[in-house]
């Protein structure tokens, strides 16, 4: 197993009890008569422990340890608050994208649809997402960090969530419009993945350890390229990965009409006939396996795959370069090594 995966799994195991404890507290604060409220809390708890990578939480922890060592145990609570924010965004995304599966199990709004209307399922999904968002802030505010620190962290988090919302909006609009330029796609990746998944958690951890503006800037030099590479790899896995690893059907991006770098590049380079084939496949809910295989072939033939892989590689190199600056500042060696492993994992992962 790659080093980073071992570390991620260990971290998940280490933080799970805190998550259970938080939900336990939350349930004990909720009147017993509200039995469906208890059920919603349990659904969220289950969702959080379905075996997501818990990448954002570990990055909060890394950001903290990088500058500070290991002073407050409550940094783990902050990192789980980040996971609850992620849960909120995923649940709402799954409604917008009409995804049936998440982490290999039924998406939350689909779970609620069982025996009810689609409207009911989606309403419950909206509420479950809203709940997760507010639980995230609640958990964050319950930690032993100073009020001043909490306010700073919350401001960072709010700004990032706002950008992520705008990124998601752009993403949906690109889907709806059908055709996008690779540069537009990279804009979404920056907003939706690089800032949100990598930069924000690292910044939050580092801010709690006393990082100044200059420190945060250097952290961004690592985080942004790593994040973009992560998203490019995500798209590649979405087309060429195995469903049993990724936890979602292999052609779900295509069926949904998602505009990815692979698709945008292939559309740019493909022959007229092939371009029509891609257009016909995008957003086609009845896409067959044969058609999917054909699109995969076009992506290879047009060298869109090669282009995406090389670009991801370029970002990975940039990201690793930035880690050298971390070392020069005398930041925690163990953490720098783990951030380096993480970058290797990004490019080599199959899930």
What span, in angstroms and rounded, lies between the C-alpha atoms of 264 and 181? Answer: 6
Closest by CA position to 315, among listed 283, 347, 349: 347
144 scored as a contact of a copy of itself (CB under 8 A): no
Do residues 252 and 98 lie in contact, with contact meaning Cβ atoms separated by under 8 Å?
Answer: no
The distance of closest approach from Cβ of residue 317 to a copy of itself in the complex, given in angstroms and rounded to an integer, is 27
Please list, in sequence order, all residues whose beta carbon lies within 8 angstroms of the beta carbon of residue 295, skipping any fewer than 6 positions away: 239, 254, 266, 277, 278, 281
Angle, to 10 degrees, between the axis of helix 118-141 and the axis of helix 147-177?
150
308 scored as a contact of a copy of itself (CB under 8 A): no
111 scored as a contact of a copy of itself (CB under 8 A): no
Q: Which stretch binds a copy of itself (CB under 8 A): 160-168, 216-224, 265-273, 308-316?
A: 160-168
329 scored as a contact of a copy of itself (CB under 8 A): no
- Per-residue HEC secondary structure of 129-176 comes to HHHHHHHHHHHHHCCCCCHHHHHHHHHHHHHHHHHHHHHHHHHHHHHH
Among 1, 28, 114, 147, binds a copy of itself (CB under 8 A): 147
How far from the centroid of its chain's Cα atoms is residue 296's Cα?
24
195 scored as a contact of a copy of itself (CB under 8 A): no
The distance of closest approach from Cβ of residue 28 to a copy of itself in the complex, given in angstroms and rounded to an integer, is 14
CB nearer to a copy of itself: give 190 or 215: 190
Please list, in sequence order, all residues whose beta carbon lies within 8 angstroms of the beta carbon of residue 13, skipping any fewer than 6 positions away: none
Q: Which stretch binds a copy of itself (CB under 8 A): 50-58, 164-172, 223-231, 235-243?
A: 164-172
CB nearer to a copy of itself: give 104 or 283: 283
What span, in angstroms and rounded, lies between the C-alpha atoms of 80 and 75? Answer: 9
- Contact residues toward a copy of itself (CB under 8 A) are 30, 33-34, 36-37, 40, 92, 95-96, 98, 116, 119-120, 122-124, 126-127, 129-131, 133-135, 137-138, 141, 146-148, 150-151, 154-155, 158-159, 161-162, 165-166, 168-170, 172-173, 176, 187
């Amino acid at each position: 197993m790659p080093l980073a995966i071992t570390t991620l799994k260990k971290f998940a195991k280490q933080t799970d009890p805190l998550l259970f404890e938080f939900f336990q507290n939350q349930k004990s604060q909720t009147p017993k008569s509200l039995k469906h409220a208890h059920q919603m809390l349990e659904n969220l708890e289950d969702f959080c422990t379905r075996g997501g990578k818990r990448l954002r939480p570990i990055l909060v922890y890394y950001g903290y340890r990088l500058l500070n060592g290991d002073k407050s145990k409550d940094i783990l609570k902050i990192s789980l608050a980040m996971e609850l924010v992620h849960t909120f965004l995923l649940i709402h995304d799954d409604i917008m994208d009409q995804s049936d599966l998440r982490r290999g199990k039924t998406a939350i709004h689909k779970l609620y649809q069982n025996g009810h209307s689609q409207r009911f399922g989606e309403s419950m999904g909206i509420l479950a997402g809203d709940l997760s968002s507010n639980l995230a802030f609640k958990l964050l505010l319950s930690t032993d960090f100073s009020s001043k620190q909490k306010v700073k962290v919350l401001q960072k988090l709010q700004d990032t969530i706002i950008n992520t919302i705008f990124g998601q909006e752009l993403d949906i609009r690109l889907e709806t419009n059908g055709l996008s330029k690779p540069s537009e796609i990279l804009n979404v990746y920056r907003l939706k993945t690089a800032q949100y998944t990598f930069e924000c958690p690292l910044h939050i951890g580092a801010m709690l350890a006393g990082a100044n503006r200059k420190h945060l800037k250097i952290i961004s030099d690592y985080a942004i390229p790593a994040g973009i590479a992560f998203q490019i790899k995500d798209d590649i896995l979405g087309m060429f990965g195995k469903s049993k690893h990724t936890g979602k059907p292999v052609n779900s991006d295509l069926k949904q009409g998602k505009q990815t770098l692979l698709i945008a590049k292939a559309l740019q380079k493909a022959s007229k006939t092939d371009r029509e084939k891609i257009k016909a496949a995008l957003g086609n809910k009845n896409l067959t396996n044969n058609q999917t295989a054909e699109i995969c072939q076009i992506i290879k033939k047009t060298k869109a795959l090669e282009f995406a892989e090389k670009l991801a590689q370029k970002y990975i190199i940039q990201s690793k370069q930035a880690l050298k600056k971390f070392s020069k500042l005398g930041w925690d060696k163990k953490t720098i090594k783990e951030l380096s492993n993480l970058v290797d994992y990004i490019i080599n992962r199959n899930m």
